[in-house]
Amino acid sequence: MAFTFKGGIHPDDGKRFTAAKQIELLNAPTHVVLPMTMHIGAPCAPLVKVGDHVCLGQKIADTEAPVSAPIHASVSGTVTEIAPKLHPNGSMVQCIVIENDFQDEPDPSIHALDPDTLTTDEMVAAIREAGIVGHGGAAFPTHTKILSALNKIDNILINGAECEPYITSDYRILLEYPWEVVGGAKILLRMFGLNEVKLGVEMNKQDAFPVLKEYLPQDESIKLCPLTTKYPQGAEKQLIYALTGREVPSGKLPADAGCAVFNVDTAAAIYRLFATGMPVIRRIVTVAGSAIANPKNLEVRVGTPIDQLIAACGGFSEPPNKLLMGGPMMGISLVSDEVPVIKGTNAILAFCKNECVTAKNPVCIRCGKCLAACPMRLAPTYIYNYALKRNVAELERYNTLDCIECGACTYVCPGKLPLVQGIRSGKQLVTDERRKRK
Ligand code: SF4
Ligand code: SF4
């Protein structure tokens, strides 16, 4: 039996373009551009200056803020610039530019760690020092998530749903690096002192099941759980409901429902840290969409400009109308292909003009499809209308802040209303009002 949640949609998953494409290693670029913000939380400050020689994996930026993650050199070479540059989120962010010397000279402090000889505090500290963040896209610092969940949870969930259309990077990791995912799950088990981890994988990736089973421990401490293929199955709250039957209360975190969720590549990053000592310096990225000549899955250094990923895929087959970092449902629109791959980058998608349909006169025909689709059981059409009227009291009453901005309501709407955009502005109104009240 496959597990799932209430609501959701079944868009064309578009995974056929890259699902069979083995991960290809992209040569390290001549320069990497490393923004001081690659995560949720406080930005880092540079620890190096222009002219410094840096080693592969050397920590080059950090902060004492509790919610943040340090940044490491993804190539060895020379720091040539520290200056504001265009970030994938569209803003200008302080970046460290390193000219690659193509030596990949590792930082002397890097060495493997034996989790069996470390305390939980030491393991969490190692994860922090390695700059590991959520690799599912949100990029929340992993050590912060672990600290907030320690002694509070009884369920560790590994998220292999990868429900966003077109993206197959996690699927390829499950097929090509199953021992890393399982190894990371074992380390998390030890850290939390629990007996069981649930690894949820959507049924459209079921050919990964026998591959994974070869690495699962005999004691059944890691349970492989099939998930119904449905969007947004990989959203944290939907995954928790599917695998445990628990609902995260409104305004609360997964730990309040006794759960901690880690993406499969986050688990793999934890494994790699302990196996090799190497911090986060690379990502596996799906490059796909109708405007990409030859879609691929690429292993790239963090900081690689995305035009180089696109070039490695044969360039654009025609000028794209839309360029995204992340999936078509929840990814962010890019204003340039010169921004770098950051720690949360799991996909670069480019689409042709004819797929980006917008309605001239959007109108609600009161069909109720958005209500049926909403995985958070919200009333998107009401929230949208109250956002237009800037009615904060009603926006609060309709739990607007619970919206996870999954886009399912917009996808099903026959009236072509820009529901998510409207709801997003409603969330901002509520947040601003609450700030004022403090
Ligand atoms: S975007 Fe928000 S309101 Fe729309 S379906 Fe997703 S959670 Fe519901
Ligand atoms: S799906 Fe669109 S048209 Fe149907 S009720 Fe919701 S907003 Fe109105």
Report the DSSP beta bridge partners of residue 198.
157, 223
pLDDT score at 359: 67
Among the listed residues 273, 247, 18, the one whose alpha carbon sits nearest the alpha carbon of residue 129: 273
Angle of helix 142-149 relative to helix 178-192, nearest 10 degrees, comes to: 40
Contacts of 311 (CB under 8 A, 6+ apart): none
Rounded to whole angstroms, the Cα distance separating 72 from 88 reads 19
Q: What pairing do the DSSP bridges indicate for beta strands 282-288 and 347-351? A: parallel
Q: Is 366 in the pocket of ligand 2 (CB under 6 A)?
A: yes
Q: Ligand 2, atom 4: nearest CA belongs to which residue?
A: 367
pLDDT score at 158: 98
pLDDT per residue rounded down to tens, the chain (438 residues): 788 999 999 999 999 999 999 999 999 999 999 999 998 899 999 999 999 999 999 999 999 998 999 999 999 999 999 999 999 999 999 999 999 999 999 999 999 999 999 999 999 999 999 999 999 877 999 999 999 999 999 999 999 999 999 999 999 999 999 999 999 999 999 999 999 999 999 999 999 999 999 999 999 999 999 999 999 999 999 999 999 999 999 889 999 999 999 999 999 999 999 999 999 999 999 999 999 999 999 999 999 999 999 999 999 999 999 999 999 999 999 999 999 999 999 999 999 976 656 667 888 999 999 999 999 999 999 999 999 999 999 999 999 999 999 999 999 999 999 999 999 999 999 999 998 887
**Residue the block writes with tokens 């970046």:** 95
Sheet architecture: strand order including 71-72: 45-46, 59-62, 71-72
> Which atom of ligand 2 is the closest one to the Cα of 409?
1
Q: What pairing do the DSSP bridges indicate for beta strands 322-325 and 347-351? A: antiparallel
CA 8 to ligand 2 center in whole angstroms: 15
Amino acid at 228: T
For residue 123, what are the CA distances in angstroms to 61, 70, 142, 276?
21, 16, 12, 14
Amino acid at 261: V
Question: Among 409, 421, 424, 427, which is best to mutate for testing ligand 1, by the most ligand atoms less than 8 A from CB?
Answer: 409
Q: Is 235 in the pocket of ligand 2 (CB under 6 A)?
A: no
Question: Among 381, 409, 423, which is best to mutate for testing ligand 2, by the most ligand atoms less than 8 A from CB?
Answer: 381
Give the Cβ contact number of residue 296 at 10 Å: 21
For residue 5, what are the CA distances in angstroms to 2, 209, 217, 368?
11, 21, 28, 19
pLDDT score at 213: 96
CA 45 to ligand 2 center in whole angstroms: 46
> Which atom of ligand 2 is the closest one to the Cα of 381?
7
**Residue the block writes with tokens 């490695």:** 312
Contacts of 217 (CB under 8 A, 6+ apart): 182, 186
Spell out the domains of the chain, with CATH numbers in brackets: 111-276 (3.40.50.11540), 369-437 (no CATH)
Are 284 and 23 in contact by the 8 Å Cβ rule? The answer is: yes
Rounded to whole angstroms, the Cα distance separating 104 from 98 reads 12
**Which ligand approaches the C-alpha of residue 387 most closely?**
1
For residue 343, what are the CA distances in angstroms to 30, 138, 379?
19, 10, 34
Q: pTM of the full predicted structure?
A: 0.94
Rounded to whole angstroms, the Cα distance separating 299 from 280 reads 13
Distance of CA 191 to the CA centre of its chain: 22
Reduce the DSSP state of residue 339 to 3 states and report it.
coil
For residue 125, what are the CA distances in angstroms to 69, 120, 170, 191, 284?
11, 9, 26, 12, 25
User: 41: left (phi > 0), else alpha (psi -120 to 50), else beta?
Assistant: left
